[in-house]
A = this chain, B = another copy of it.
């Protein structure tokens, strides 16, 4: 069997902002025997999954489950709603927003990319007022959709989606609102229906604590209606046949059964704990990690406290320090994986994931590895981040009455 162990003992600390560690409960669920995806047990499972997943998105509308990783769900959102040459409005919040925009272009759509000067877009998130202004100019309603990233995995900024909806409404514009919350779902507050999102894109390997391989499109009535006249070619991603088959708990083609077992277990865990508790847990962890970064005297990538991500924190290295060299040292010495700086941020920051199947001490270990590694790499630190986080966690118990 595959040997993944660089280090001889102990568990690897996988503290990247996804894939996040998969709990044993989910791995065990995934090891149930594969069944006939056209048999009665499967239909019962399918119906149950399709109901439970809605609660995670906070929607009464259908959620499409794809047997494909998250990038596929980006494509699905676009090809189901748009026609060749359609204009869409996007906002440069980071590396993933940029990739989605490239995908749109590649698929024959015309994305317009709003941005802030310098690296400000990567540190402040979506500016709803810019979207409103642009939509107001679009008198002929050439723009068919506004596409934004909720939790930008490359930066640790969680944009205000309700504000984007208000901007669209203020402009009186009919564009669809499509939101990527691949790394936000089940970790950051998200409300598909309340915020008036038309298509929400998400994936399995972050807050749902699953391996990668499942992705989602949550829909609105308007999105479904739009899809009937959208002319980009589609078959695998097409909502219509899936919605039809889903009525009985099935899929038009073979779903990835064992990952769905894992999804079922994940949903039972999250809904059993209570989604609000899950979100509070992430906020608390994020506060502890930011306390550490502040104690170190380092910069947090996100510059607007209103949009700090509860899922991950980007730690900016001082000028002249190669963040990737620091990450490598930490990985080799302390069996800890951190997220690299992506795109424009390459080599300038590392990202700490604090999501999913963690606990206080997991994060203390993580911050300990970061602190010791940065010291060994010669990064000047003001104070101990580990102690700051420990203090934060000690002073703020998650459940006073649990």
Contacts and interface: CB of A to CB of B under 8 A. Distances in A.
Given A8-B273, A11-B11, A106-B233, A32 B368 contact: no
Interface string A361-402: 110111011011001100000001011001101100100000
Contacts of A238: 106
From A36, A41, A337, residue with most partner B Cβ within 10 Å? A36
Nearest to A328: B40
A359 to B, nearest CB: 3
23 contacts: A9-B359, A10-B360, A11-B11, A19-B36, A20-B34, A22-B34, A27-B30, A36-B337, A67-B212, A69-B255, A70-B254, A71-B236, A75-B235, A107-B235, A211-B258, A212-B257, A256-B256, A333-B360, A336-B361, A361-B365, A361-B366, A361-B368, A372-B393
A21 to B, nearest CB: 7
Contacts of A165: none
Interface stretch (A51-59, A112-120, A126-134, A259-267): A259-267
Contacts of A252: 71
A36 B14 contact: yes
Interface residues of A, number: 108
A44 to B, nearest CB: 10
Contacts of A12: 33, 35
Nearest to A27: B31
Contacts of A108: 233
From A2, A211, A372, residue with most partner B Cβ within 10 Å? A211
Contacts of A264: 2
Interface in A313-344: 331, 333-337, 340
Contacts of A29: 1-2
A248 interface: no
A341 to B, nearest CB: 12
A203 interface: yes
A393 B265 CA distance: 36
A375 B387 CA distance: 12
A67 B203 CA distance: 12
Contacts of A384: 384, 387
Given A211-B257, A213-B259, A359 B386 contact: no
A140 interface: no
A314 to B, nearest CB: 16
Nearest to A392: B372
Contact of A9 (B356, B369, B371): B356
Interface in A25-51: 25, 27-41, 45
A383 to B, nearest CB: 11
A162 interface: no
A70 B281 CA distance: 38
A135 interface: no
Given A9-B23, A14-B35, A37-B19, A265 B386 contact: no
Contacts of A37: 19, 212
From A27, A66, A67, A259, residue with most partner B Cβ within 10 Å? A67
Nearest to A78: B235
B71 A19 contact: no
B364 A368 contact: yes
Contacts of A74: 236
B369 A361 contact: yes
Given A107-B233, A259-B211, A254 B71 contact: yes
Contact of A2 (B2, B32, B38, B106): B32
